[in-house]
Structure 1
Amino acid sequence: MLPPVEQRLPAVPHLDEEAGPGRHGGDLRVLMAKAKDTRQLVVYGYARLLCYTPELLLEPDILERVEVREGRIFTLHLRPGHKWSDGHPFTAEDFRYWWEDVANNEELSPTGPPAAMLVDGKPPLFEVLGDTAVRYSWETSNAGFLPALAGARPLYIYRPAHYLKRFHAAHALPEALARAVEEARRRSWAALHNKLDSQYKNDNPDLPTLQPWVPLTRPPSDRFLFARNPFYHRVDGGGRQLPYIDRVVMNIAASGLIPAKTAAGASDLQARYLRFDNVTFLKRGEEPGGYKVRLWRTGKGAHAALYPNLNAADSVWRSLFRDRRVRRALSLGLYREEVNEVIYFGLALTGNNSLLPGSPLYDEAVRQRWAAYDPDAANALLDEAGLRWGDDGLRLLPDGRPAELIVETAGESTEETDILELVRDSWRELGIALHTKPLQRELLRNRIFSGQTLMSVWSGWENGLASADMSPAELAPTSQQQLQWPKWGQYHETRGAAGEPVDMEAPQRLYALNEAWRHARDSGERRRIWREMLEIHAEEVFMLGIVGGIRQPVVVSDRLRGVPEEGYYNWEPGAHFGIFRPDRFWLAN
């Protein structure tokens, strides 16, 4: 028997004045393709220490308030009386447990605390100031700390200590812990602890949560249930506890069948596994399926972009890709308007991989730099770069080989193939023969990482809607997943243990600017850094954006209320539906 709602809420709940009036109750059906998509309920639920508003402003959510001094001292104030989904108090002990017993435990975290918790390789001073306040103090500014807490996949700096201590060698009875390890068939207590400590994966029904819906189903399954969190911290404008919807029912289906199942009315809210080329089919099913199709903008810097591999193993192509005249020529040779008209019915935004109009940092001139279709100018640049013409209408590489360029794809949709067919035609005018090679996703990534891939096609920056206070890390060589310079990114991620150090001037400057952003104390300085980084990318054209801002079909059941007519569908920032607060959505019957 649950206590009355006033005893389940924090003393000062998060008041969501935009929510309501809605009706409590009902099941929301969604379709997913994999059991691991249970994590999407954490993404959509979007309960975070701080979160972004639809206007892309940071505000406290789980936290009652945050105090920041000198850009380096962060005092986090919890909501008194806030409870985990099992009714146990959520307190500073949950932060202490993570910092001391998880992040700094060599068995649970062999590489130490996450990179977001380190500035110049140094961790913060952590202090518990009482049951509902903790403080993190760095020697210098850490501008990325608060945005990391608001991410689609957030930095979790707390754990349900009362639950996990039972599986920690420093807290559990040795005999009981050994028995639990044996029963779970894990190799050690640390392996068991890490398996159960899955806030983001959302696949352990025993793990208390702060999200709006609590998982009830253990994998494997083809139907996952999530129930309303009775101790959730948000209330609507009338003071009624959120979420409105009682249960979320996640049915698993093959990804290729999800558009058809959606058209048959099997989902109340669907965007994942739907593509722009499904729109016509989905529109035809609106009346019989009992739903409407809404077209939201996507928020990536480019929906489709070409990535010349600056770390390619082929030394000739590597040298060419490092010549910005060649990169600029390839960009000028892209007939983006044709791609937009033929594939996206003119509804996309053409331009290079850069920020979109929804960003406060947006600059149309930056996005369009070296992006106008101009084959004459492109050919002049290739001539200047020393690529002479051969007898067969193709240019010749410096070693005499014909300029035949293989672009590798994940082969997951015909959309990429259609785009590359059009690119092939326009690049033929430059004397370059483009060949497409589809591969399985993992094989493609491994080939890129090793330098075997010359060029690949993928989406552009995840965050095309950035503000100056959001991290510019994806503009600098900081991750192996950055397909234009994977070895430089790997070098950063492994702190020099693998990969290669950056050996080009412009990427070195980007790396230095990203580090400077992390130390910047105010928004003005962060804005100046962002603008310089965007300018470098506009001039250097490290990635060849083709189109961006394409329309994402969002299918909404006729009985579902509270979903915006217009919005943007983006991972970071946005958490897909999360930024629009699905705990506000409600069912009319």
Structure 2
Amino acid sequence: MRKLITLLAVITLFITAFAAEVDWLIEDTEGEKGGTMFWSTTTDPKTLNPAWASDNNSNMFINMFIASLLSKDEEAFYKKPYLAKSYEAVNAADGGMDLTFNLRKGLKWSDGTPLTSEDVRFTFEDIYFKKNMSVNGNDGFTDEDGNLPTIKVIDDYTVVFHYNKPMRVAIGSIGSTGILPKHKLGQYADDPVKFPQIWTLEQMDDLVASGPFIFKEYREGVRLVFEKNPYFFAKDKNGVQLPYLDEHICVIVQNAETEVLKFQAGELDFISVSAPTYVSLKEKESSLPYHTVIGSYVPGPTFVSFNFNSPKKEQRVWFRNVHFRKAVSYALNREAIIDSMLNGLGTPTYAPRVPGEPYYDKEFIDSLGYRYSLSKAKRELKEGGFTWGNDGKLYGPNGNLVQFDMVTNVSTTSWVEVGNILTDSLAKLGIEVNFRPLQFNTVVNNLMGGSFESVILRLSGETPDPNDGWNTYLLDGGLHFWNWSPEYLKDVNPDLLDPADYEVAEWERRIDEIYRLQKSELDDEKLRDMFEEWSNLEAQYMPMIYTFAQNSLLAVSDSLHLTSEELVPYRGVLWNIWTVWKDQ
């Protein structure tokens, strides 16, 4: 018995000593421990595998339980130490750059396994640096010449990434990538067939967490439940281990209207709202226990896009024709949408950056003059070789009747409204649109499989740095959906496109070139010129026809205390969720 007690004492001392070694992330905050936060989404996640998540909804949930080396700072750049206690980028002797990350001591996965430099090495060297082991490929980590960095593990807490040349984007690209557990996923290294199939929604019991929360329960179409990770490595300024919340529950609802009803009934603690909803909630907030918040324009404006490699070959001729795309832009009455649908709480958009953001060249974009005009739309169609028959219908350069499907997420009311307005407007030009609002995951599957004809969506960037859009704007990017490369399609839809029918315009090649060169551009003025050129080319040739950007709008229960209610673009409502707390 004495030996057992002695052994237990030694184990206790070891655990205590190990715990004391943790290099805690100290947050300058104080709140109340306990409680459950309720929030909502209209869509189930598609996967919980960080390397194979291609939609924002899945990534949002993954960020709850998988931590990265760095997290977003107050301006939404990945510069704040997280798993890494510190980091440093210095010029190397060979003219390149060494990027060193120093991990916090005492880090553990939620199953008690130590999290070390070997997990970092595994994450990059065995997964993300391999071309076919993630949905976006490895271009986000290469330099302008296509070279990947080498990795050197110094000890359990120190990892060095060596680039052949200085890399402006290395801190963000490496620092924002979720670190994966080698002890759980190491068996799938170099297996591009099995690896995408692990950590599905049916495999929640196999997940381990390094972030603030752990998955506890998932019921398809009903809810996702998260509980606090007891090994999370952050404390507040009073020494209280974070997160404050015991759990949070994300309810899956059918549509935004249901979200509002649940919020007003006190079943949800906050909701992001549309402009019409904001006006209604604003009128009632003085008599109910909630308040509303209005912020700047939401980055990543809504767009309409066409598939240059549509399954219907006659459509490829139209969709690749810039005059056709300009005509659609002229046919979209953005100002009417903002006045009638957004109650003025938004702005027309014609470029990937919203007005007021860096790299938005207002003078050039205003000079394009894409304001609503059906007469200008008809002129563009004529210049593009389109004609009208005696029946008033529009026919393409090859004599085919111009008609196509357009899809969007049925749960996003504003996208559905844009589709309805544009369908009516295009009908006045003799164009037949079969507009079909669908479930979001169906839309994404059609998009990623190259089987869509046209779509209404929006892309949201991770940070204010346009480099985060590399997978969209590189020709071989994993989200270059309007003109999928033959290399991409051969793996997902090999019968869709004959490589001989693949076309890349000069403007598209130039954007690809900009995105490769900007990675290592350290001169701020040259970088600004590059990204303004990219934005202007997007606005001029419109692979995505941008529509509007709404103001950030939020309704929050008075009992919920977010980390910040200042709606900073790119940061997100649940920024630093581990410091969110609720009145008990």
Q: TM-score scaled by structure 2?
A: 0.77
CA distance in 2, matches of 1:515, 1:285: 50
AA in 1 matched with 2:86: R
Note if 1:24 corresponds to 2:33. yes
Is there any run of 5+ residues in structure 1 with no aligned partner, and where?
171-188
Q: 1:133 Cα deviation (Å)?
A: 0.5
Q: 1:224 Cα deviation (Å)?
A: 5.1
CA distance in 1, matches of 2:362, 2:487: 28
CA distance in 1, matches of 2:261, 2:230: 35
Q: 1:488 Cα deviation (Å)?
A: 5.8
Deviations 1:401-437 (A, max 9, x none): 4544543444445543432332244445545454424
Pick from 565, 576, 581: which aligns with 2:576?
Answer: 581
Contact 1:217 1:226 in 2 (8 A): yes
AA in 2 matched with 1:156: G
Name the SS for the 1:65 alignment partner. strand
Note if 1:133 corresponds to 2:158. yes
Q: Aligned residues, how many? A: 550
Pick from 321, 325, 328: which aligns with 1:327?
Answer: 325
Q: 1:23 Cα deviation (Å)?
A: 2.3
Name the SS for the 2:99 alignment partner. strand
CA distance in 2, matches of 1:169, 1:454: 35
Contact 2:389 2:395 in 1 (8 A): yes
* Corresponding position of 1:269: 270
AA in 2 matched with 1:463: G
Contact 2:26 2:234 in 1 (8 A): yes
Contact 2:78 2:463 in 1 (8 A): no
* Corresponding position of 1:416: 415
Alignment of 1:168-179 (within 5 A): 168=187
* Corresponding position of 2:78: 58
Contact 1:469 1:523 in 2 (8 A): no
Name the SS for the 1:259 alignment partner. helix
Deviations 1:98-127 (A, max 9, x none): 456767999x95999855445556543221
Alignment of 1:167-566 (within 5 A): 168=187, 204=204, 207-217=207-217, 225-251=225-251, 254=254, 257-271=258-272, 275-276=274-275, 278-279=277-278, 290-297=289-296, 299-303=298-302, 305-357=303-355, 359-368=357-366, 369-404=368-403, 406-413=405-412, 415-428=414-427, 430-439=429-438, 453-459=452-458, 461-463=459-461, 466-467=464-465, 470-479=468-477, 481-487=479-485, 490=488, 500=499, 502-520=503-521, 523-552=524-553, 554-566=554-566
Contact 1:330 1:427 in 2 (8 A): yes
Contact 1:308 1:542 in 2 (8 A): yes
Contact 2:307 2:481 in 1 (8 A): yes
Deviations 1:207-255 (A, max 9, x none): 5422122334477796654333344333334554332223324455555
Question: What is the percentage of aligned positions where both structures have the same residue?
Answer: 21
Q: 1:567 Cα deviation (Å)?
A: 0.4
Residues 456 and 588 of structure 1: CA distance in aligned 2, closer, same or farther (over 3 Å):
closer
Residues 449 and 318 of structure 1: CA distance in aligned 2, closer, same or farther (over 3 Å):
farther
CA distance in 1, matches of 2:134, 2:542: 38
Contact 2:327 2:381 in 1 (8 A): yes
Residues 13 and 547 of structure 1: CA distance in aligned 2, closer, same or farther (over 3 Å):
same
Contact 2:149 2:162 in 1 (8 A): yes
Deviations 1:10-60 (A, max 9, x none): 65433333xx23222322233456674886454357843112223133322
Note if 1:80 corresponds to 2:78. no
CA distance in 2, matches of 1:262, 1:110: 37
Contact 1:390 1:402 in 2 (8 A): no
CA distance in 1, matches of 2:166, 2:456: 36
Name the SS for the 2:323 alignment partner. helix
CA distance in 2, matches of 1:202, 1:421: 37
Note if 1:156 corresponds to 2:155. no
Q: 1:366 Cα deviation (Å)?
A: 4.7
CA distance in 2, matches of 1:43, 1:112: 17
Q: Once structures 1 and 2 are overlaid, which stretch shifts more, 1-10 or 347-356? A: 1-10
Q: TM-score scaled by structure 1?
A: 0.77
Alignment of 1:563-574 (within 5 A): 563-568=563-568, 573-574=570-571
Deviations 1:168-215 (A, max 9, x none): 499xxxxxxxxxxxxxxxxxx9999987768xx796466542212233
Contact 1:143 1:520 in 2 (8 A): yes
CA distance in 2, matches of 1:331, 1:442: 27
Contact 1:302 1:547 in 2 (8 A): yes
Is there any run of 5+ residues in structure 2 with no aligned partner, and where?
1-10, 49-57
Q: 1:517 Cα deviation (Å)?
A: 2.6
AA in 1 matched with 2:36: D
* Corresponding position of 1:67: 88
CA distance in 1, matches of 2:66, 2:284: 30
AA in 2 matched with 1:556: V
Contact 1:344 1:550 in 2 (8 A): no
CA distance in 1, matches of 2:188, 2:544: 48
CA distance in 1, matches of 2:245, 2:538: 44
Contact 1:562 1:585 in 2 (8 A): yes
CA distance in 2, matches of 1:144, 1:446: 30
CA distance in 1, matches of 2:109, 2:286: 42
Q: 1:288 Cα deviation (Å)?
A: 7.9
CA distance in 2, matches of 1:296, 1:328: 31
Name the SS for the 1:73 alignment partner. strand
Note if 1:15 corresponds to 2:26. yes
AA in 1 matched with 2:346: A
Residues 78 and 366 of structure 1: CA distance in aligned 2, closer, same or farther (over 3 Å):
farther
